[in-house]
C-alpha cells in the first residue's frame, strides 16, 4: 500500500465517508449450525465470524473454578484474510487481542451462574480491513446472546482515531496505517461504561475526550444493528426447526 498524499479531502475520507460516519454494517445472528451461538459481521471490507460454545464442561479440569464459569476467547485470522498470507497459528498479536476481547466481554456475562463450566468464544477474521478486534467483539456479543448465555447487556465496539488532524470514526486499513492515532473502544451500551480501551499514537487531552465521545456515539449505532440482528433471528421461525 502506498501512502496517499491526503487521507481527508474537502471533509470527505478516501472512501467518501464523513469523519463521523461508520462503514456499511451488516450483522447476522446464527450464522453457523454446530456452534451454540454465532454471528457474522461485515463492516466495510471486514468479514468476521464469531461462535460460542457453552456453558459446557471445562477441560482441562484444573482450569475449572469452583464459583464461576471460565470465559475463554480465541481470536484468529484466516491465512488469506490479509494482503500477505498469515502463517496459521497464534502469534503475539492474536494472543493479546484474544485477552482484551475476553476482558471486554466478561463484564456482561453472568459467569457466576455456571460454576466449574467453560464458555468459549471464537472469533475468526475471514477478511481484514482494520478494526477486526472491535468487529470481533461486536460479533461475539451477538453470538453470546444467540447462544442464550445470560447477559447483563450487550457489548458494542468500534475504533476511532486521528487522521490528517481530524478525529474520525471507524478507520480503514489505509487510515490506520497512515493516520496518527488508533483507539479501539468497547462499551456496554445501556450502562455507557467502557470495557475495552486501547490507544496507539498521539492525542492531546481535548482530542482524546472528543475521540472517546465519538467512539461512544459509534457504539450506539453498532448497538442498534446488534439488536436488529437478534430480532431478525428470533422473529422468523427458522426453517430448519
Binding site for other proteins (CB under 8 A): 32-35, 38, 45, 47, 49-51, 53, 56, 74, 76, 78-85, 88-90, 92-93, 95-96, 98-100, 102-103, 106-107, 120, 122, 124, 126-128, 183, 188, 191-205, 208-209, 212, 216
Q: Is 43 left (phi over 0), alpha (psi -120 to 50) or beta?
A: beta
Nearer to other proteins, 118 or 225 (CB): 118
Nearer to other proteins, 79 or 148 (CB): 79
- Smallest distance, other proteins to C-beta of residue 207, A: 9
Q: Say how far apart CA 37 and CA 19 lie, in whole Å.
A: 34
Nearer to other proteins, 200 or 224 (CB): 200
Nearer to other proteins, 212 or 230 (CB): 212
- Smallest distance, other proteins to C-beta of residue 212, A: 6
Helix (H) or strand (E) holding 126: strand 117-127
- Smallest distance, other proteins to C-beta of residue 11, A: 25
- Smallest distance, other proteins to C-beta of residue 76, A: 7
Nearer to other proteins, 98 or 134 (CB): 98
Closest CA to 100 of 200, 214, 222: 200
Residue 201 grid coordinates: 499514537
- In Å, how far from its chain's centre is CA 108? 14
- Smallest distance, other proteins to C-beta of residue 95, A: 5
Contact 37, 52 (CB under 8 A): yes
Judge residue 208's burial from the number of C-beta atoms within 10 Å of its C-beta, 0-12 exposed, 13-18 middle, 19 or more buried. middle
- Smallest distance, other proteins to C-beta of residue 5, A: 18
Give me the sign of the Cα torsion angle 126, 146, 223, 90. negative
Nearer to other proteins, 120 or 174 (CB): 120
Q: Say how far apart CA 66 and CA 117 lie, in whole Å.
A: 9
Amino acid at each position: 500500500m502506498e501512502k496517499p498524499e491526503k487521507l481527508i479531502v474537502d471533509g470527505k475520507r478516501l472512501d467518501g465517508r464523513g469523519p463521523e460516519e461508520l462503514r456499511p454494517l451488516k450483522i447476522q445472528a446464527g450464522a453457523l449450525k454446530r456452534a451454540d451461538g454465532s454471528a457474522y459481521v461485515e463492516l466495510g471490507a471486514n468479514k468476521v465470524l464469531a461462535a460460542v460454545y457453552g456453558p459446557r464442561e471445562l477441560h482441562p479440569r484444573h482450569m475449572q473454578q469452583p464459583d464461576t464459569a471460565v470465559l475463554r476467547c480465541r481470536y484468529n485470522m484466516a491465512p488469506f484474510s490479509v494482503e500477505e498470507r498469515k502463517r496459521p497459528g497464534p502469534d503475539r498479536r492474536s494472543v493479546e487481542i484474544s485477552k482484551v476481547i475476553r476482558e471486554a466481554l466478561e463484564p456482561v456475562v453472568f459467569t457466576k451462574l455456571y460454576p466449574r463450566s467453560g464458555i468459549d468464544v471464537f472469533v475468526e477474521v475471514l477478511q481484514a480491513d482494520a478494526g477486526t478486534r472491535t468487529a470481533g467483539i461486536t460479533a461475539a456479543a451477538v453470538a453470546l446472546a444467540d447462544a442464550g448465555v445470560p447477559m447483563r447487556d450487550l457489548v458494542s465496539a468500534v475504533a476511532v482515531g486521528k487522521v490528517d488532524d481530524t478525529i474520525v470514526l471507524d478507520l480503514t486499513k489505509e487510515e490506520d496505517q497512515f493516520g496518527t492515532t488508533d483507539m479501539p473502544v468497547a462499551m456496554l451500551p445501556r450502562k455507557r461504561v467502557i470495557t475495552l480501551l486501547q490507544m496507539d499514537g498521539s492525542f492531546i487531552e481535548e482530542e482524546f475526550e472528543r475521540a472517546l465521545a465519538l467512539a461512544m456515539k459509534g457504539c450506539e449505532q453498532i448497538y442498534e444493528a446488534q439488536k436488529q440482528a437478534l430480532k431478525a433471528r428470533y422473529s422468523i421461525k427458522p426453517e430448519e426447526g
